[in-house]
Amino acid sequence: MEQTQQRILVVEDERNIAAGLKLNFELEGYDVEVAGSARDAAALLAGSDHFALILLDVMLPDADGFQVCRRIRAAGDFTPVLMLTARDSTEDRVRGLEAGADDYITKPFELEELIARVRSMLRRRGWEQSSTAHVSHSLLRFGGAQVDFERGEVTVRGDAVSLTRLELDLLRYFADNPRKVCSRAELQAEVWKLDNYPNSRMVDNFILRLRKHFEEEPSSPKHFLVARGAGYKFVPDP
Ligand code: CA
């Protein structure tokens, strides 16, 4: 396994928090850059540094974190984003995930939990990058969609669509388990690699995202179906 230091971008204007995060992640062996505003973050992301993960605060002086996340995704950048939401607000979490964030943690957070969450996100990514080398054929076709998991290229009825890493991970898990009823806990453990953070809304929101991407009528889905009380199932060919 490669031992190059993974670089994390911390986007947070509160200097004490930013400095604390920088120090602690550096102690964990990561390389850390801090941006104190949306503008600084955009400048760093446009530069030559490669970031393995972005920690993105919702409250910034010149934009909110949701806007920043949307811009990152709109630019075709699918670096994992972990949002720091200011309150334990469902609305904030949903907005963050809808903006393309991969996960969120609410302030105030326990540093240990944040570090564990970051590790888990990076491990999942590392696993995925090393495992794709062994996949020789990973093309999924269903309902007018074509998904090349190796290249992360997706078209839906002829149009190119950008999926985040986690959206692709979830779709891939479904593709590997067609027609199987998958519980939310199973999806969270297998796709997010999060066994101990009960958070079924996260799964629900990602299902909504897949429906928006792929279903002709997201409100009456044909492929990403709810299995009442039990979870979800993917039906490639209804
Ligand atoms: Ca802030």
Contact 224, 232 (CB under 8 A): yes
Global confidence as pTM: 0.64
- For ligand 1, a single-atom ion, which residues have Cβ within 5 Å? 13-14, 57, 59
pLDDT tens per residue, range 22-53 = 999 999 999 999 999 999 999 999 998 889 99
Average pLDDT score over residue span 96-105: 83
Q: Which domains does the chain have, with CATH numbers?
A: 2-130 (3.40.50.2300), 139-234 (1.10.10.10)
What's the mean per-residue pLDDT of the chain? 86
CA of 111 from ligand 1 middle (Å) equals 16
Cα(214)–Cα(145) distance, rounded to whole angstroms? 7
**DSSP annotation of 191:** H
Contact 223, 179 (CB under 8 A): no
Average pLDDT score over residue span 166-173: 90
pLDDT tens per residue, range 51-80 = 999 999 999 999 999 999 999 988 878 889
CA of 137 from ligand 1 middle (Å) equals 44
**DSSP annotation of 6:** P
CA of 164 from ligand 1 middle (Å) equals 24
**DSSP SS3 for 93:** helix
Helix H or strand E segment including 24: helix 15-27
